[in-house]
């Protein structure tokens, strides 16, 4: 069985558009981005349309979509509903991308499901050559949906890979669409304005399907409202149609359907409470369709939600380690606020970034809450290089920043040169976070 699993990983990597594991960009091999959706739909139909046997919540957004998706899945599970969760990217293993009731697919089941999907992909490629090759991401999404049906899930929460309108996951039709906060990201693919970003993300809005959105900037909101109106879809907006208020320790959600008190989450930050509110609003939309979760399931589902690598706190010999993949200026500012809320002051910060990020703005933000910033290239062909990081560090952060050739060297320097109880924050690309999780031998990193 192990050989089947290893063969599956090898074939999925072979179908990656770029380096092994880089599979999120739906446009790299297609001059017509819509062709990927046709190809995905054809593959799903070849597999007996598993998506049509699931009640699906579809989650897009620039930041917070992973948190919102996890919150929704947990609430459904705690209501006694067998629920699959499809997320991306992963930290350590493709298996993380397909979980059922919080448990990742086994290696044996991964290999078995991959074999079925890859055989179907080969048939599609043979009978519909004009559609091109099925990509790694398309394979994984088809695997997730097939696996969820195979193990008896009634619900699936599906996180968008990149964008929304032309993303592989947009071949599905959900019962509820969710859009978390939008910001400028992947501008070379999704557009250089918030309106263009919203047009791409808002592409998941389907005719007549209710949409729950976090609070948005005016430019993004106008575009989302226009799309919803054109699709005859009701848009429920945070701060307008539903609200939350309270503190980190306890908050209340309210809309016209319900008021739910004594809610709490373990992840700090106002943005996470906003994500939680968005998730609750989405679940209440399902409740209107005969779904049973009550306040108890909502409370417990939110409270137990954790995301490895997203403000994950680890204690190491009296030292607090925070792992958080903040890779945009906005997410770096949110990280700073979450650290302040958690009383974590002047940590050593280790960070690495891909070259397409606004690295100067990221370095400036990180340098605002640390006196010791350790930068390093990422183990990815798209990394910002040592030389590039050195130039920006000198220009933006001066003596606050140092650049190391590898993550391991930065990690060693943080532990050996900082005071024993000085906290350490690992941030930037999830590749950096994943590598330090491996060095810490954390669950899932082996």
**With contact defined as beta carbons under 8 Å apart, do 137 and 40 qualify?**
no
Asked if pLDDT for residue 56 goes beyond 70, the answer is yes
Q: Is the pLDDT of residue 27 over 70?
A: no
| pLDDT in the model for residue 187 | 60
pLDDT at residue 249, as a whole number: 87
Instruction: Look at residues 60, 88, 365 and name the one whose alpha carbon lies nearest to residue 182.
Output: 60
Overall average pLDDT of the 208-218 stretch = 96
Query: Can you name the residues that pair with 104 across neighbouring β-strands?
Result: 99
State residue 28's pLDDT score.
47
Average of per-residue pLDDT across 124-152: 96
**What's the confidence (pLDDT) of residue 445?**
67
Q: Determine the angle formed by the axes of helices 359-367 and 329-341, rounding to 10 degrees.
A: 20
* For residues 111-124, average pLDDT: 98
- Tens digits of residue pLDDT in 97-106: 999 999 999 9
- Average pLDDT, rounded, for the chain: 91
- What pLDDT score does 190 carry? 73
Long-range interactions of 7-15: CB distance < 8 A, separation 24+: 7/111, 8/110, 8/111, 8/114, 8/115, 8/118, 9/94, 11/114, 11/118, 12/94, 12/114, 12/136, 12/139, 12/140, 13/136, 15/133, 15/134, 15/135, 15/136, 15/139
Banded model confidence at residue 393, pLDDT cuts 50, 70, 90: very high
Mean pLDDT confidence for 258-279: 94
CA nearest 373: which of 358, 383, 359, 356?
Answer: 359
% of the chain at pLDDT higher than 90: 80
- DSSP SS3 for 277: helix
> Quick one: pLDDT at residue 171?
96
Domains and CATH numbers, the chain: 2-303 (3.40.1190.10), 312-439 (3.90.190.20)
119 Cβ neighbours under 8 A, 6+ residues apart: none
Across residues 378-402, what is the average pLDDT? 92
The SS3 assignment for 63 reads coil
Distance of CA 120 to CAs 26, 35, 116, Å? 20, 18, 6
Give pLDDT tens digits for 317-349. 899 999 999 888 889 999 999 999 999 999 999
| Length of the chain as a residue count | 446
Residue 19's pLDDT band (cuts 50, 70, 90): very low
Whether 154 has a pLDDT exceeding 90, the answer reads yes
Span of 108-122, 186-200, 228-242, 377-391 with lowest mean pLDDT? 186-200
User: Across residues 130-151, what is the average pLDDT?
Assistant: 96
- DSSP annotation of 85 reads E
Q: What confidence score (pLDDT) does residue 257 get? A: 83
What is the C-alpha R_g of the chain?
A: 21
* pLDDT tens track for 161-196: 988 999 999 999 999 999 999 987 666 677 779 899
**What is the pLDDT, as a whole number, of residue 20?**
36
**pLDDT tier at 22 (50, 70, 90 boundaries)?**
very low
Q: What number is the average pLDDT over the span 220-226? A: 97
Closest by Cα among 107, 88, 106 to 97:
88
CA separation for the pair 235, 229 (Å, rounded): 8
- What is the pLDDT at residue 24? 42
Report, in this order, helix, strand and coil percent for the chain, each rounded to 5.
45, 15, 35
Least confident of 23-32, 121-130, 184-193, 371-380: 23-32
């Amino acid at each position: 069985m192990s050989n089947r699993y290893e063969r599956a990983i090898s074939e999925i990597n072979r179908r990656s558009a770029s380096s092994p594991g880089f599979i999120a960009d739906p446009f790299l091999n297609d001059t017509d981005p819509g062709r990927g959706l046709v190809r995905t739909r054809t593959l799903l139909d070849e597999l007996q349309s598993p998506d049509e046997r699931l009640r699906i919540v579809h989650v897009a957004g620039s930041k917070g979509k992973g948190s919102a998706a996890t919150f929704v899945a947990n609430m459904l599970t705690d209501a006694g509903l067998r629920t699959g969760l499809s997320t991306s990217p992963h930290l350590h293993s493709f298996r993380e991308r397909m979980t059922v009731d919080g448990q990742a697919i086994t290696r044996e089941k991964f290999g078995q499901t991959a074999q079925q999907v890859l055989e179907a992909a080969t048939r599609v490629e043979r009978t519909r050559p004009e559609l091109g090759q099925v990509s790694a991401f398309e394979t994984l999404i088809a695997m997730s949906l097939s696996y969820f049906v195979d193990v008896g899930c009634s619900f699936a929460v599906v996180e968008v890979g990149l964008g929304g309108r032309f993303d592989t996951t947009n071949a599905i039709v959900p019962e509820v669409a969710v859009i978390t906060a939008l910001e400028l990201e992947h501008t070379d693919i999704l557009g250089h304005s918030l309106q263009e970003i919203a047009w791409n993300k808002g592409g998941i809005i389907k005719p007549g399907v209710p949409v729950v959105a976090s609070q948005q900037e005016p430019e993004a909101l106008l575009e989302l409202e226009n799309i919803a109106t054109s699709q005859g879809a009701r848009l429920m907006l945070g701060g307008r149609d539903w609200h939350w208020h309270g503190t980190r320790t306890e908050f209340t959600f309210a809309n016209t359907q319900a008021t739910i008190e004594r809610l709490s989450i373990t992840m700090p930050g106002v943005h996470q409470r906003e994500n939680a509110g968005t998730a609750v609003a989405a679940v209440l939309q399902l409740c209107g369709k005969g779904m049973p979760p009550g306040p108890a399931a909502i409370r417990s589902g939110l409270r137990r939600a954790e995301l490895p690598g997203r403000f994950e706190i680890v204690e190491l010999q009296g030292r607090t380690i925070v792992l958080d993949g903040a890779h945009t200026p906005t997410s770096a500012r949110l990280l700073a606020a979450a650290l302040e809320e958690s009383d974590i002051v002047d940590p050593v910060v280790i960070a690495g970034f891909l070259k397409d990020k606004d690295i100067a703005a990221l370095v400036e933000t990180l340098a605002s809450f640390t006196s010791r910033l350790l930068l390093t290239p990422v183990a990815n062909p798209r990394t910002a290089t040592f030389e590039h990081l050195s130039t920006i560090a000198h220009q933006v952060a001066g003596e606050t920043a140092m650049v190391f050739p590898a993550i391991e060297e930065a990690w060693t320097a943080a532990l050996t040169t900082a005071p024993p109880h000085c906290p350490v924050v690992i941030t930037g690309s999830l590749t950096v976070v994943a590598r330090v999780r491996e060095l810490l031998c954390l669950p899932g990193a082996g």
